[in-house]
Amino acid sequence: MKVALVHDHLNQLGGAEKTLLALSEIFPEAPIYTLIHDEKNTNSVFKDKDIRTSFLQRMPFNVGVKFFKWFIMLMPQAIETFDLSKYDLVISSSSAFCKGIITKTNTTHICYCHTPTRYLWDDTHSYVSSLKYPKILKVFIRSSLSKLRQWDFVASQRVDYYIANSNFVKNRIQKFYRKDSVIINPPVDDLKIEPIDKSAIGDYFLVVSRLRPYKKIDLLIQVFNELPDYKLKIIGSGEYEYDLKQMVVGNNIEFLGSLDDKEKFEYLKKCIAFLNPQEEDFGITPIEAMMTGRPVIAYKKGGAEETVMPGLSGEFFNEQTTKNLKDTILNFDHKKYNPIEIKEYAKKFTKERFKKEILDFIEKK
């Protein structure tokens, strides 16, 4: 059986890319088709893979990679140019365009859907509002997104079988694409990290995130500005880093920038709690925190409702307001959580489990 993998774009290393890596471990001979590949921004983890990119990668002066977002209207065409006619099975790892690949009648296309494209559907208005562009330009952006939304729905119908990464995403696939799906949670590495003794826990709360508006890091900064005796450490970078730093009024909030996994896990295993203030489709990093034995404080919406177990692996806050989150932090007692029990609970999301469920699903189909 000839297998190909397809991914939207390899220009960052997040949960979707770690899922693609796991799929590539299942099918090590399968080439990976993707719009672009930025080896530096993916920490070279795909350097030994057979990566096949679109014409965006080959634009003069590397502009298709450096200014990737500028070419959003070309991305449907770029995905459709991939010739996948010789494959029996194609698995797309998609939160945007790659579900729109064109396959032959006798080729089975399974889409592992991280989410229906957020900025085309329920996040359209907030996405456009967050853009730092003149109002007149936003009018044209809205028109472009409308055209892309039509293509996205048509493209979604090309998939033979959908796999959703959570029940939350399953419902979104049904609403926007009118397609059924099965749920297979994404893979999380079973970190070979033993939870540390409670007496060795640090004095800080932690968030690991790309610094983008929907991640709600601004909410955390507002809260910790009002809690000068509580420390917050932020791991990650992004286009809103400068704006977020300008919001800080004290010295209890520290930006650590992008860290490698070894450094990140050192901070994870010693934090009072991991903070997840945003609505995520699933959320791999909170599970990584649990793998180190640390509890999670999460917004009670989206994928977190399926992964955080109140009283065992963390707590929820119900409203994305400064008051609600601040009250939750003030009333949070990390000493009542058992790090070993948290890690054991998190093992239900391991990579080995993911691989088995994927292979079982393929065999059935």
In a domain, 341, yes or no: yes
Q: Are residues 9 and 71 in the same domain?
A: yes
Q: Are residues 324 and 358 in the same domain?
A: no
Q: Give the pLDDT confidence of 313-354 residue by residue, as tens digits.
A: 999 999 999 999 999 999 999 999 999 999 999 999 999 999
Total count of domains within the chain:
2
CB 321 within 8 A of CB 302: no
Q: Are residues 289 and 342 in the same domain?
A: yes
- CATH number where 300 lies: 3.40.50.2000
Q: Are residues 256 and 356 in the same domain?
A: no
Q: Are residues 178 and 204 in the same domain?
A: no
Tell me the Ramachandran region of residue 44: left when phi exceeds 0, alpha when psi lies from -120 to 50, beta otherwise.
Answer: left
- CATH number where 134 lies: 3.40.50
Q: Give the pLDDT confidence of 246-280 residue by residue, as tens digits.
A: 999 999 999 999 998 889 999 999 999 999 999 99
Q: Are residues 170 and 205 in the same domain?
A: no
Q: Are residues 116 and 134 in the same domain?
A: yes
Q: Are residues 342 and 355 in the same domain?
A: no
Q: Are residues 39 and 153 in the same domain?
A: yes
Side chain identity at 73, as an amino acid letter? M
Q: Of 157, 1, 179, whose CA–CA distance to 90 is shortest?
A: 1
Q: Give the pLDDT confidence of 177-195 residue by residue, as tens digits.
A: 999 999 999 999 877 778 8
How far is Cα 159 from Cα 153, in angstroms, rounded to an integer?
11
For residue 315, list its beta bridge partners.
Answer: 297
Instruction: Look up the pTM and report it.
Output: 0.91
In a domain, 125, yes or no: yes
In a domain, 193, yes or no: no
Quote the domain boundaries for residue 82.
3-187+351-364
Q: Are residues 175 and 202 in the same domain?
A: no
